[in-house]
Structure 1
């Protein structure tokens, strides 16, 4: 599903029971509200979930400047496409092996590191679940200005959270099952 900003704005306005737009660039009050919030919210919704359409991979080389202490190497995050959220380095989640500080990944291994991340992507690549989540998030953002109702804003926020939950369920169904690590409890059952 290709999503454009006008469609995302109209998803929000429909959810709020407001008049929809012909084009997000029009001069109506609701169009200006949507325009003002859209760029920030697209990044926010992309960061909120590991959307398959926004996942990218990149090898990272260490920068010439090491961190002052605690870690051996700094690796600048990708800028083309812009890295919004690192997911894994070398198949491992953040923790003892690496961390994010500013626009760098800090690690003790010299690299290159294999990064999986959420990128800022064109909305034309977006999934239907992302479009629904973005619409509800935008509705929550502009909801009070449009409806003057805190209840409607709370409802839109709940619908946004539900859309993220639905996206997690879809991801779980499309991912291979996780391997259980061997432990003394599993060994005892055998």
Structure 2
């Protein structure tokens, strides 16, 4: 089974650094991994609408609404990383107008059904290609403070971009694309085309 220490050791091996046994051990490598891991993980989760990190929830109104601009405010989930969509009903249609401010969604909608990317802490829930991209991102961040190498950092940047593209492509193949709502222009064209018998 994968774990955070194993992922950090994968990153350390990419820069030729000594392995660690725990994030809490008193070594420079462990301290830096402990400092950078969560930031890198959350940054990578924000970079794409990952299927494994997607979640849906109906939000509850959070007391008094904002002072102006919107009627209601709703607290974001504790594991929220970024919003994908917000709807006014559970059918997934009726995208609402909203703003995200200070841990809340502000909107005029009486209900909010949120689709979002959540923080995934269990490494075993991450697909293998995401874990590899994450290890490469972490290695890039560790290249200068541990290996003292800007050249290695640049090399790892290229490798990270390749790993990220692969992970995104694989993730995108695991479901059907979201269907865009039909525009009023398209609906009007379709209606007029039917009238002309086309």
TM over 0.5: yes
Please provide the CA RMSD for this pair: 2.6
> What is residue 89 of structure 1 aligned with on the other side?
86
Cα deviation, 1:26-79, whole Å, max 9, x if unaligned, reads 333212221121222222222222222222211112222212222221111012
> What is residue 142 of structure 1 aligned with on the other side?
142
> What is residue 55 of structure 1 aligned with on the other side?
54
> What is residue 65 of structure 1 aligned with on the other side?
64
> What is residue 107 of structure 1 aligned with on the other side?
107
> What is residue 25 of structure 2 aligned with on the other side?
26
Bigger mean CA deviation after superposition, 57-66 or 96-105: 96-105
Cα deviation, 1:61-116, whole Å, max 9, x if unaligned, reads 2222212222221111012xx2111211124798x7222112011222111x1111
Answer yes or no: is the 8 Å Cα contact 1:3–1:125 preserved in 2.
Answer: no
Bigger mean CA deviation after superposition, 46-55 or 141-150: 46-55
Partners in 2 of 1:41 and 1:92 — Cα distance? 33
Unaligned runs of 5+ in 1: none
Unaligned runs of 5+ in 2: none
Cα deviation, 1:109-137, whole Å, max 9, x if unaligned, reads 111x1111111222231111221121111
Pairs aligned (count): 184
> What is residue 41 of structure 1 aligned with on the other side?
40
Instruction: Report which of the two structures shows the higher radius of gyration computed on alpha carbons.
Output: 2
Partners in 2 of 1:159 and 1:40 — Cα distance? 19
Bigger mean CA deviation after superposition, 156-165 or 136-145: 156-165
TM-score by length of 1: 0.83
The answer to which structure, 1 or 2, has the higher relative contact order (CA under 8 A, 6+ apart) is 1
Partners in 1 of 2:147 and 2:156 — Cα distance? 12
Answer yes or no: is the 8 Å Cα contact 1:133–1:163 preserved in 2.
Answer: yes
Answer yes or no: is the 8 Å Cα contact 1:46–1:118 preserved in 2.
Answer: yes
